Amino acid sequence: MLIRFDSKVGTFVTFGDIGVKLLQMTGHSGDVPGAILGADVAGALARLEAALKDVPPAAEPPEDDDGPVRPEREISFRQRAWPLLDLLTRAAKKPCDVMWAEEPPDSLRV
């Protein structure tokens, strides 16, 4: 499942499990679909920022005997949270509502 977050200030799509966990960190149930009213966005943003402080940073890639190995770096949870942090920050300035719903898989075909 994919989740589309939408607001007058922007839109993005993320994996469902990541989106649900982020929503729960804002103080919401994680139910899809849902919304945060403009008046409540600043509080949701503050709760998300506070919760992310407890998330450990991504692990460093392992080193080889010949020097550092350059595998593809794992995308940390903090990095995956950035689009929602950005959207909530911009929505709090307006203020405007932020909505989310399941994104149909075939809508992303190129």
Residue reference for tokens 């020097």: 67
CA–CA dist 101, 23 (Å, integer): 12
pLDDT at 71 over 90: no
Picking from 25-34, 35-44, 68-77, 99-108, which range would have the lowest pLDDT averaged per residue? 68-77
Instruction: State mean pLDDT over 70-87.
Output: 87
- Indicate the helix (H) or strand (E) that contains 103: strand 98-103
Instruction: State mean pLDDT over 18-43.
Output: 97
pLDDT at 63: 63
Instruction: Report DSSP state, residue 76.
Output: P
CA separation, residue 75 to residues 28, 50, 67, 78 (Å): 24, 20, 22, 8
